[in-house]
Amino acid sequence: MKANDKQLIYTLLKTVDAYECGYTRAKFAGEPLFTDDTVVECERSERIETTVATSNNGSSPVVSIQPSAYSTTGQASADANMSQNSGISLDELNAKVLRCTRCGLARTRNNVVPGMGVEHPDVLVIGEGPGHDEDMQGLPFVGKAGVLLDRMLAAIGLDRKTNCYIANIVKCRPPENRNPFPDEQAACFSFLEAQIHILKPKIILCMGKIAIEKLMNQNIAITQAHGEFFDYNGIPVMPTYHPSALLRNEELKRPAWEDLKKFKRRLDEIKTN
């Protein structure tokens, strides 16, 4: 397949996705760059030519595969779509999330957990997905890990009732608290993108490996990346350890605290500039 065809399909899927979410997403730093499948096309062509030539004992002409005509409008459409903004509200978006059945997690959830917090937050906190307590209450980070998260946030002057919004990569609980599968993360991610688009947080705190990996669209070792800053469409992003990891391993609390202090300094800088 040619790069332009891939771009066209990608753009089409994004447009459908954006329509369903009610907004047009900004250009994402991790968007794929498509290339032609030159090698694959050649191999396939050669294999078919060989098969036909052999079956006809060389008496019939060899079948050749002609390149098809490709559209060149994909990138232009993508850029045009990205420049639009349909202005959906957070309530409207979360109402869509509550009705969502895009992935298999819809079959096992008790409640959808769109998110919780103020509409114009300084900080967006992103977790991985709801656990048992969150699933039962329909609210993010309300179990033991949630209590610890609230304490961590309070230690640096943050609170979900005044200056934070808390959301997850997936909005429905993965059974047995397993990690959300890649297809579940992919199905749900546009909701988080839309939330970021609407909330416009000054800074983002990612709790754990899955949150930062999905947001940045790359493999990231949390043991090395915690406390470092990444960039998501101009918004500083810091990963730190998930509160559940801190509950399992006390030794992680000290580095997590150092991360939070660094995060607070950066937030203060942003607010004073």
List residues near ligand SF4 by CB under 6 A: 97, 100-103, 105-106, 112, 170-172, 184, 187-188
> Looking at residue 22, what DSSP letter applies?
T
Shortest distance (Å) from residue 129 CB to ligand SF4: 7
Name which of 105 and 148 has its Cβ closer to ligand SF4.
105
Mapping DSSP onto H, E and C, the string for 160-186 reads CCCCEEEEECCCCCCHHHCCCCHHHHH
Name which of 119 and 183 has its Cβ closer to ligand SF4.
183
Q: Decide if 18 contacts 25 (C-beta within 8 A).
A: yes
Name which of 26 and 106 has its Cβ closer to ligand SF4.
106
Name which of 145 and 172 has its Cβ closer to ligand SF4.
172
Q: Decide if 81 contacts 14 (C-beta within 8 A).
A: yes
Q: Could you list the beta-strand ranges (E) of the chain.
A: 116-117, 123-127, 164-168, 203-207, 230-232, 235-240
Name which of 112 and 142 has its Cβ closer to ligand SF4.
112
Shortest distance (Å) from residue 215 CB to ligand SF4: 15
- Tell me the two tokens of residue 99: 């009705």
Sheet arrangement for strand 230-232:
116-117, 164-168, 123-127, 203-207, 235-240, 230-232
